Amino acid sequence: MPDLTANSAPTGEITVLFFGSLALKRGQRKLTVAAEAELTLRQLVSQLGGAQWHSFLLAVNQEQTNDLDRLLHANDEVAMMPPFSGG
Amino acid sequence: MGGATVRTQEEDFSIEEEVDALRAVSRRIGGIVTFLGCARDFSEGRDVSAIAFEQYASMAETAMEGLRAEALETFDIIEVRIIHRITTVNAGEQIVLIVVGAEHRASAFDACRWIIDTLKQRVPIWKRETTPDGKIWESQHP
């Protein structure tokens, strides 16, 4: 009986959210990307054109982070955010 | 009366109701400090007629709960309420309210100042101002 689970491609997706001026710049608020193995936050930001953003903050699963080497996994929610301006 | 201790909402809030709700928590409270943030009609050299707020709701709620918890742990205070409106407000209208109750005034002043300063750094809320030049996202707030 072959093991159908072995060597299967990574399943699942990462949700990416954009807020404020970044959503305007991107022309979208939300997208999903495939959860590839060994995908880091840095790679994701780069793929989405982060080099062109003036300044931004990142959160993974609703927690702010500066760790660009962080590995992303299926079902993670990544937020790309301009500096906050509440209050 | 007053709703949850920490929340975002579209509708306006009543300062009196929030202060009453805080006072109901303990008779040990001897001093209450409030901070009320309102929409200015002028910003960065431009007239502003309205401000629209957007939030990352799930993270904003967690961050605001965290602010309350940290303030209660750090300062000698008894209770905290934080309410932030997420909607479009016209110039002059209320945006954010922080109410802090303590036995003595000094801690209440210190905590209230710390909460509003830290809210601006940690809570994912953004404002877009309506000006004669159009609608402009404010990317950084002093």
pLDDT in tens, B3-56: 899 999 999 999 999 999 999 999 999 999 999 999 999 988 899 999 999 999
Q: Name the class of domain A13-81.
A: alpha beta
In the block, which residue shows the tokens 């202060």? B19
Q: In what order do the strands lie in the sheet with B88-90?
A: B88-90, B50-55, B125-131, B134-138
**Residue B96 covered by a domain:** yes
In the block, which residue shows the tokens 């005034």? B105
Number of domains in chain B: 1
The interface predicted TM-score (ipTM) is: 0.88
- DSSP conformation class of A40: B
Please give the Cα distance from B25 to A23 (Å, whole number): 41
**Residue B1 covered by a domain:** no
Query: For chain A, which residues make up each domain, given as ranges?
Result: 13-81
**Residue B128 covered by a domain:** yes
- Provide the pLDDT confidence category of residue A52 given band limits of 50, 70 and 90: confident
For chain A, positions 21-80, list CB contacts with chain B under 8 A: 21, 24, 54-55, 57, 59, 62-64, 79
Domain containing B78 equals: 6-138
The answer to whether the CB atoms of A86 and B126 lie below 8 A apart is yes
The answer to whether the CB atoms of B140 and A87 lie below 8 A apart is no
| CATH number of B92's domain | 3.90.1170.40
Q: Residue A10: its pLDDT value, please? A: 53
- Provide the pLDDT confidence category of residue A7 given band limits of 50, 70 and 90: very low
Note the pLDDT tens digit of each residue in B91-127: 999 999 999 999 999 999 999 999 999 999 999 999 9
- Which residue among A19, A59, A85 sits closest to B138, beta carbon to beta carbon? A85
Mean pLDDT score of chain A = 89
